[in-house]
Amino acid sequence: MTANENRGRFDLLRDLLARSPLASRQRKATASEEDRAFIHWLSTAAGTVIPEPRAESVRTGKARLLDALAHGEARDGRKRLSRLPGRGVAVALAAVVLIAASLTASAASGKLDLMEDIDEVLERLGIDPVPGPSSYQREMPESDPPAGADTRDLTEPGSPELPALAEDGDNALSDQQDEPTTLQGGSAEEQSTATEQIAVSIDETGPSIAPPRGQSGGKPSSSSSHPGGCGHQNMAIGRPETPAAQRRLAPAQGQTSPSGTGNGEGRPPAQRPDSIGAERGKGVPALPARPADDRANRDPFKRDSEPHGTDYLPDSEEVRRGADAEPSGHRGQEPPTAEEGRSRVLGERS
């Protein structure tokens, strides 16, 4: 055996030994030693990496825990967590129910329909309702009123003028309303004009206030009421602004209207007399303006007992025309005939 052959055998044996399981275990042991060294370093570094918690915070955390335990969170925590959303849902449902109930009540009382009716009536009368929440709450556009027109704003919601206005109109016409209200005065043309205006304004309003057509349109109260839907032009086109005014304007039960025009259907439209006159071009006579100081000092809620307003009647023609347009009645008694009322007014003026 030569030396080369011996060297070859030695290399072969070395290779076989290197591939043996024993050599593999030795290599793993070497690697494991490295890993152990790294793990040792890692453990040491980790011990220094993480600082110890502060004693104060540990005490605070424990105190919080025991305090919460003393307040019973361990026993009631589950219930509380499940109860809280239930309360919120209950509150939300209650709010929804309340809102729905209020809306239903408003619809039942006719407030919502009233708003819509006002716009509808204004549109039929040829007046552009201003877009917005409701034309009921808007102001009438400023314009130069025709001569002799009443410049008072009757469309202002909640206006303190409203009761006063009702009484004002009543005062101005109290004498007229006591007199006969049949369409006897004036010429035939004037009668037909007033009747047509009244019919238009009545027919286009709802039946919520006035009695049904053809039944009654008289005044419900003795001193300060107005016929529901017909009568004096200022009152006929005046719209009740408040429930109290609506009640005043509503006719009394069993009351009859002596006027032939008293169909009494619907509310009067929210329209000023001057605008109606200008719109229709028929010159509806307007209510003369009262002195400003008198109007300002008057208590709007005080019922005037003494008759006044005769100074607002310009002439007998005005009286006749107003009387023609104003169907009125008296609560609990038969209305005077036209002849009686006319003679009474003329007598008082004289």
Partner 1 sequence: MTSAVDRLGVSAACSCEEEEVIARAKTGDASAWTVLFDCYYPTLYRYAYARLRLREDAEDVASQAFMVALRGIHTFNYRGKPLLAWLYRVTRNLVAEHLRRRRSLGETFDRLRAGTVSPALAAPEDMVDAYDLLDAVSQLTKDQREVIILRFLVSLPTKQVAHILGKKEEAVCSLQARAINALRRQLADHSPLLETSSP
Instruction: Give residues in contact with partner 1 (CB under 8 A).
Output: 35, 38-39, 42-43, 45-46, 48-54, 57-58, 60-62, 64-66, 68-70, 72-75, 77-78, 81
Contacts of 287 (CB under 8 A, 6+ apart): 150, 168, 169, 172, 232, 234, 273, 312
For partner 1, the closer of residues 26 and 60 by Cβ is 60
For partner 1, the closer of residues 50 and 188 by Cβ is 50
Q: Which of 197, 190, 225, 229 is nearest to 332 (CA)?
A: 225
For partner 1, the closer of residues 67 and 348 by Cβ is 67
Contacts of 349 (CB under 8 A, 6+ apart): 310, 313, 316
Least distance in angstroms from the C-beta of 21 to partner 1 = 20
Contacts of 185 (CB under 8 A, 6+ apart): 319, 320, 321, 323, 324, 338, 342
For partner 1, the closer of residues 1 and 49 by Cβ is 49
Least distance in angstroms from the C-beta of 28 to partner 1 = 12
Is the Cβ–Cβ distance between 259 and 182 less than 8 Å? Answer: yes
The amino acid present at 309, given as its one-letter code, is G
Least distance in angstroms from the C-beta of 40 to partner 1 = 9
For partner 1, the closer of residues 75 and 334 by Cβ is 75
Q: Where are the beta strands (DSSP E) in the chain?
A: none
Phi, psi of 67 (to 5 degrees): -65, -45
Least distance in angstroms from the C-beta of 18 to partner 1 = 24
Least distance in angstroms from the C-beta of 206 to partner 1 = 59
